[in-house]
Amino acid sequence: MDLIILIITFGFLGYAIKYIDQAYDENEFPIRSANLVAIIAGVLMGTLMAFDSPFSTAFFIAMIISLVLAKKIDNVAFAAGSIIAFGMMGLFMLNTSVTFLILPIAVFLFAGFVDEIVDGFAHKHHVGDRVEKFCHYRPFSDFALFAMIAFGMFSWIYVVPYFSFTIAYMLVGRINLMDIATGIRHVINRAAKFRP
């Protein structure tokens, strides 16, 4: 799959997951928009799992399984997005070959589990500012990716979309795409009033 498409879709999915989480858990965003984002995210994720196999397949399957195990699929949007993602992948599997690599799925799952434990530990104990930031960043998934690339499981090219996902996830709350879209629509509406 084209690298630019991967960067954009991974970035959108990182943003979408955090956006939905913040909408339901923190009431920072409207629930209706979070539900719409979940549907779009499910379609994109399922498409990636089918057409960017084996990396996207392993990455997103591990992510969904880890969310289920951590009981983080705790709202309608996450549940619907996950079901749509697997449904889309299943639909596309009728015409395309999807590779399921058990070891990368297991590695991503284990790294995600360690990240959750370390993050939880940092929330409960005073560990110092730098260590706390390190723990909240959840670095073990990064380590897992670099290890799998080093062992030849995936191409180095996947570092870029992976960090597109991570950075977009971290930007939620700092940059609101819905506010940007509303602002653009407002500018267009104002500009339309000046048309001769």
| pLDDT tens, residue by residue, 130-149 | 888 887 788 999 999 999 99
Residue tagged 């779009």 (tokens): 40
Q: What is the per-residue pLDDT for 74? A: 87
In this prediction, residues 51-80 reach a mean pLDDT of: 91
Q: What span, in angstroms and rounded, lies between the C-alpha atoms of 39 and 59?
A: 19
* Residue pair 92/46 in contact by the 8 Å Cβ criterion: yes
Q: What is the per-residue pLDDT for 67? A: 84
- 175: DSSP letter: S
What SS3 state is found at 18? helix
What SS3 state is found at 135? helix
- At 175, the pLDDT band (50, 70, 90 cuts) reads low
Q: What is the per-residue pLDDT for 57? A: 97
Count CA atoms within 13 Å of residue 147 on its CB side. 11
pLDDT at 123 over 90: no
Q: For the ranges 14-23, 76-85, 132-141, 149-158, which has the lowest average pLDDT? A: 132-141
In this prediction, residues 32-54 reach a mean pLDDT of: 96
Residue tagged 């530990």 (tokens): 121
**Burial classification of residue 80, based on how many CB atoms lie within 10 Å of its CB (0-12 exposed, 13-18 middle, 19 or more buried):** middle
pLDDT at 181 over 70: no
Q: What is the per-residue pLDDT for 35? A: 96
Closest among 43, 60, 162 to 101, alpha carbons compared: 60
Phi-psi region of 71 (alpha: psi -120 to 50; beta: other; left: phi over 0): left
Q: What is the per-residue pLDDT for 131? A: 84
